[in-house]
C-alpha cells in the first residue's frame, strides 16, 4: 500500500497545480495538464489493483481525472 499512498499524494499535488495553472491562464497549463493526466492514470491503475472499496472509488476518480486532463491538455 505504500506505493498507492505515495501515488495518491502525487496525484493530489499535481491536480492542485493543474487547477491553479488553468485558473491563472499559465502558458504551461497544457504541459501541466498532460503530466497530471499521466500521474492520475498511474494512480488509478495502482488503486484499481486493490480490492478495498475506497481504492476502487479512488481508481475511478483518478481515471476520470486523467481523461479530463487529457482533454484540457489538448485544448490549451
pLDDT at 75 over 90: no
pLDDT at 65 over 80: yes
Task: Give yes or no for a contact between 76 and 30, defined as CB atoms under 8 angstroms apart.
Answer: yes
Q: Indicate the class that CATH gives domain 2-75.
A: mainly alpha
pTM for the complete prediction?
Answer: 0.92
CA distance linking residue 55 with residue 61, whole number of Å:
10
pLDDT in tens, 20-52: 999 999 999 999 999 999 999 999 999 999 999
Give percent of the chain with pLDDT exceeding 90. Answer: 95
Q: What is the CA radius of gyration of the chain?
A: 12
Identify the pLDDT of residue 76.
55
Identify the pLDDT of residue 32.
97
Amino acid at each position: 500500500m505504500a506505493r498507492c499512498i505515495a501515488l495518491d499524494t502525487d496525484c493530489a499535488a499535481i491536480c492542485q497545480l493543474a487547477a491553479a495553472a488553468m485558473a491563472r491562464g499559465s502558458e504551461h497549463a497544457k504541459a501541466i495538464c498532460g503530466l497530471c493526466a499521466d500521474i492520475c492514470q498511474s494512480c488509478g491503475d495502482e488503486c484499481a489493483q486493490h480490492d478495498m472499496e475506497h481504492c476502487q472509488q479512488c481508481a475511478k476518480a483518478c481515471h476520470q481525472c486523467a481523461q479530463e486532463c487529457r482533454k484540457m491538455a489538448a485544448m490549451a
